[in-house]
Chain A
Amino acid sequence: MSEDIKVKDGLRESATFDRTTMTEIRRAAETGIYDIRGFGAKRKLPHFDDLLFLGASMSRYPLEGYREKCNTSVTLGTRFAKKPIVLDIPVTIAGMSFGALSANAKEALGRGASLMGTSTTTGDGGMTPEERGQSTKLVYQYLPSRYGMNPDDLRKADAIEVVLGQGAKPGGGGMLLGQKITDRVAKMRTLPMGVDQRSACRHPDWTGPDDLAIKIQELREITDWQVPIYIKVGATRTYYDVKLAVKAGADVIVVDGMQGGTAATQDVFIEHVGIPTLAAIPQAVRALQEMGMHRKVQLIVSGGIRNGADVAKCMALGADAVAIGTAALVALGCNHPMYDEEFKKIGSAAGFYDDYHEGKDPAGISTQDPELMKRLDPVDGGRRLANYLNVLTLEAQTLARACGKNDLRNLEPEDLVALTVESAAMANVPLAGTSWIPGKGF
């Protein structure tokens, strides 16, 4: 029955118990277990689309597109590290694990990032030689699980990211289900084949910010203070978390908003924990500014970044760079329509597939199946990712020039207005056509 016929017949769907909700209730009743899935939040959230740039007209002077330079490089880790990491573009690849992703996908991410002079990041499974080999700038994640953690890899890294939380599941750990555990993945994580691999929600050998300061010092000692130390938090109490991260000694802070993706966690976590990326940035920037550390401790923002406008808006709100995860996978071919028939065979559809934990990804990205993995050519994937990163950068530059800026980091909140009261309040910019910022008076 088509939608039109239903409406014509006077049938009315409940807004509260819509078909998706009722399907989930039936699924829960049948299985007795919550829904586990990958991807990020699917509900509509206040996002960067609710902000607009004020291009230059009379009161501002624009720069000439394609002619006048607009710098995109950014240096991360200028606070303590002897070797700060220099990125040619302010878009990095977020941490995603080998295990959750195929080796080819990890290699493609490294290739694409390297082509554009930016960094990629390991994940909850350790560092693979392929990834290190293809990534000219590699950030090594120091995670609660410590799967595969070793000092040799620490010393091979260009930066170390201490992960305290993830935007998709702040306060939660991960679960790589047994069906994706190949011999190699199991060996890297020191666990038996086929066993569900739980990633802890907290680090095992420290319990708070005071301990974290000592832990960071340990990581610096082990690496002789050479490389930057990032701290990654899931966006929740961002203002306080950022202040504590600065106090603990971070060189760089990564704030991951709730639109950030994940390999596998409870749907209820993805949709109901954390705050939107848009809301998190001003909190983080305010914390840094109050401590006199804005631009001294660099801020990377992630969670639902899709295009150059999102990049530019993050930077205008005060970020130094952004990180992409889901978008990078889509660039590689995740959820590609060419596999629609195969998605249907496993009960999904192109554009809707989120069962990364099942390891049956027809696109060969979130799988360990050797036959499926072959579908992603890492060289071609890397080129596609590089193209996409290039587009993000060009788009962000275009917007910056229109605002009269010769450096992406010169974008500022004054360049933005909000379309909705909610986004104005969250982003701390005025409602379009007014000078009103909710909570701040006229």
Chain B
Amino acid sequence: MKTINLTEQTVRDLNQALHAQAVECTEREWEVLEPKGQHNIACGLDQNLSVDIKGPTGYYCAGMNKKAHVTIHGNAGQGVAENMMSGTVRVKGDASQAAGATAHGGLLVIEGNAAARCGISMKGVDIVVKGNVGHMSCFMGQAGALVVCGDAGDALGDSIYETHIYVKGEVKSLGADCIEKEVREEHIEELTELLNRAGVDEDPAAFKRYGSARQLYNFKVDNTSAY
């Protein structure tokens, strides 16, 4: 295992070393010590690496990740795993706002709570949150799935497209064009698979499903009160 201490080396040094693994992979397991909330740690990875970050991270940790498996042993700042393409990002603590924003693929697991706008404009990523999510989560969510084992704040799924949302706890309010939907067998299967992948022990039958009413997909003047 390769260890980099961010009090001795810079984030630039770390990222350059991790990016070099995409050219020639010499070390698959990486440990990052004393991140101390620095920004942009382990972003732009493009190799099947295992990166353990032992502490809290700042903004955009593991941004645009491809292939790598990143674990943050602490809290994550704004935009963790933003625009991730594939791989896994796991936050052992809480995540700040815009977790998994615009992410296209892979799996983001937040073992604590996620703040506002979790999964905003998500485009195919799967996000599993063991705790609660803040307001406007999954705003304009396009594809993928958001699983919330706790409660959801105001305006969940506002202006949603085709993202699947599953919430076990209370939903404070639903956003425009987001409705509760029937849970069918295929949804139980999808949820079971997501929970298993995330390593979360919850009963899929305890979740409600939310998605798009598809009433705002095309602009109609009769819907102006919804905008």
Residue ranges of A at the interface with B (Cβ–Cβ < 8 Å): 31-33, 145-146, 149-152, 154, 175, 177-178, 189-192, 194-196, 198, 200, 204-206, 211, 214-215, 217-218, 221-225
Contact = CB atoms under 8 A, between A and B. Distances in A.
13 contacts: A33-B219, A190-B104, A198-B140, A204-B102, A204-B120, A204-B139, A205-B60, A205-B78, A206-B79, A214-B59, A217-B40, A221-B43, A224-B19
Given A149-B102, A221-B11, A221-B12, A211 B78 contact: yes
A150 B120 contact: no
B79 A150 contact: no
A151 B62 CA distance: 12
A370 B106 CA distance: 34
Nearest to A145: B121
Interface residues of B, number: 43
A146 B120 CA distance: 11
Contacts of B79: 205-206
A175 to B, nearest CB: 7
A222 B123 contact: no
A196 B218 contact: yes
Which residue, of A31, A154, A189, A205, has the highest number of chain B Cβ atoms within 10 A? A205
B219 A204 contact: no
B166 interface: no
Nearest to A154: B64
Contacts of B97: 205
Contact of B123 (A146, A192, A198, A205): A146
A196 B219 contact: yes
B78 A151 contact: no
B58 interface: yes
Contacts, number: 112
Q: Chain A's interface: helix, strand, loop or mixed, by majority? A: loop
Contacts of A196: 217-219
Contact of A214 (B12, B39, B123, B143): B39
Contacts of A145: 121
By Cβ-Cβ distance, the 3 closest A-B pairs, closest first, are A222-B44, A205-B98, A205-B101
Contacts of A211: 59, 78
B176 to A, nearest CB: 12
Contacts of A214: 39-40, 58-60
Given A177-B219, A196-B219, A222 B64 contact: yes
Which residue, of B120, B121, B221, has the highest number of chain A Cβ atoms within 10 A? B121
Contact of A151 (B11, B46, B98, B162): B46
A264 to B, nearest CB: 11
A218 B143 CA distance: 24
B66 A151 contact: yes
Nearest to A192: B162
B85 interface: yes
Contact of B83 (A149, A175, A224): A149
A192 B218 CA distance: 11
Interface string B71-82: 000000011001
Which residue, of B63, B83, B104, has the highest number of chain A Cβ atoms within 10 A? B83
Contacts of B123: 146, 190
Interface in B7-24: 11-12, 15-16, 19
A152 B221 CA distance: 40
Contact of B120 (A151, A152, A191, A205): A205
B142 A191 contact: yes
Given A146-B123, A224-B15, 17 more contacts: A31-B221, A32-B221, A146-B102, A146-B121, A150-B83, A151-B44, A151-B83, A190-B142, A205-B78, A205-B82, A206-B59, A206-B78, A218-B44, A218-B59, A218-B63, A222-B64, A223-B44
Which residue, of B46, B58, B123, has the highest number of chain A Cβ atoms within 10 A? B123
B210 interface: no
Interface in B202-226: 217-219, 221, 224
A270 B217 CA distance: 24
B140 A200 contact: yes
Contact of B39 (A189, A194, A200, A218): A218
B18 to A, nearest CB: 10
Interface string B44-61: 101000000000001110
Contacts of B19: 224
Contacts of A224: 15-16, 19
Interface string B141-180: 0110000000000000001011000000000000000000
A225 B82 CA distance: 19
A224 B142 CA distance: 30
Contacts of B104: 149-150, 190
B66 to A, nearest CB: 6
Which residue, of B40, B46, B117, B161, has the highest number of chain A Cβ atoms within 10 A? B40
A175 B224 CA distance: 15
A31 B219 CA distance: 12
Contacts of A189: 142
A215 B59 CA distance: 8
Which residue, of A33, A191, A196, A221, has the highest number of chain B Cβ atoms within 10 A? A221
B131 interface: no
B102 A218 contact: no
B134 interface: no
B116 to A, nearest CB: 10
A318 B176 CA distance: 46
A222 B98 contact: no
B124 interface: yes
A195 B40 CA distance: 34
Given A32-B221, A200-B121, A217 B101 contact: no
